[in-house]
Structure 1
Amino acid sequence: MRWRTGTDPWPPPVRAVLFDRDGTLVHDVPYNGDPALVRPVDGARQVLDEIRASGTMVGMVTNQSGIGRGLLDANQVRAVNERVNELLGPFDTVQVCPHAPGDGCLCRKPGPGLVLRAAADLGLMPHECAVVGDIGADVDAALAAGARGVLVPTPETRTEEVDAAGTVAEDLWQAVDLALGAPREVTA
């Protein structure tokens, strides 16, 4: 029997980390249409800057059902995303699902659409991406797309979501370590 040599290891390295917006990168303000209310979670800018410095791409994937529910318009969501970009960017891709839960779209997390669109936009295969989020739908979207998923629970994360998540991190730093599969070097 002959073995094939020169193949890449599996799983391949993560080349992009895709973050949920509300509750993960910024404090969750339900149906936020006001850029002045955007407040990054502690350490988010440093985590994102470190990822970028390593050569790994960074994206944002966010459900914005307020549009589909008539509570927000696309311009308000765009303004909030621009504020997030000012505070935490730049992002290599930003993907938004504007649909309400009952619309039956494929892009709304836990569906795979946002992750698949982000990967395609970055020129990657989904398995080259990791998704970091604060609820089960974020992890489920990653898995549905064939990406890696990491849950960073907040007080609003349901216990059953934590129990069901394959990979759970205490904070964004640990989430990125787990997503990339290698602990970061800490300098004193």
Structure 2
Amino acid sequence: GLDLQPKRAWWGRYGYVNNLGKFVLEPQYENAQPFSDFLAAVKRDGKWGYINGEGKFVIEPRFEDAYLFSDQTAAVKENGKWGFINRSGKFLIEPKYENAAVFRQGLAAVQWEGKWGFVNKLGEMTIPPKFPQVYFFQEDRCGAMVDGKWGFIDRNGTFTVPPKYDEVFPFRRGWRP
């Protein structure tokens, strides 16, 4: 990714600074996210779009909300629902979910009727929405909650570590309870 970080100027607008703290992209956005996959989500005139490292819009601001790019896709909100776009701004998965997260290891968490499940990049629900809370996949495992307790599921949604922990955390090489 690019070594630029979003920073809020004293007058309230966001721009991007280099590793010396100098503004490289002038503060002009209502909000800004870090660069990921060489694109950054920025908010202008109440809508989110994506810029490249030169500050040029690659995807014009048209979304109610937007997450960073991961695995060449980004979750965006349109008309109150979440879907996923590619780097050209074309929908890979039409907006239909209550909430969504970024793709990790080819799967993204999506919320449907209050529960979380996972979709692949074709929009297929690979793990049905049945969890009140989930994390993201890392090393083919994901923290998932059932009945107020956390465990770990595999890519099929099967618990490989039973849900018996009060909390779980990602760490450098895998997950830990």
Considering the TM-score relative to the shorter chain, is it more than 0.5? no
Structure whose residues are more often strand by fraction = 2
Q: With CA pairs under 8 Å and 6+ residues apart, which has the higher RCO, 1 or 2?
A: 1
Q: Give the alignment's TM-score, normalised by structure 1.
A: 0.27
After TM superposition, the score normalised by the length of structure 2 is 0.28
Larger CA Rg, structure 1 vs 2: 2
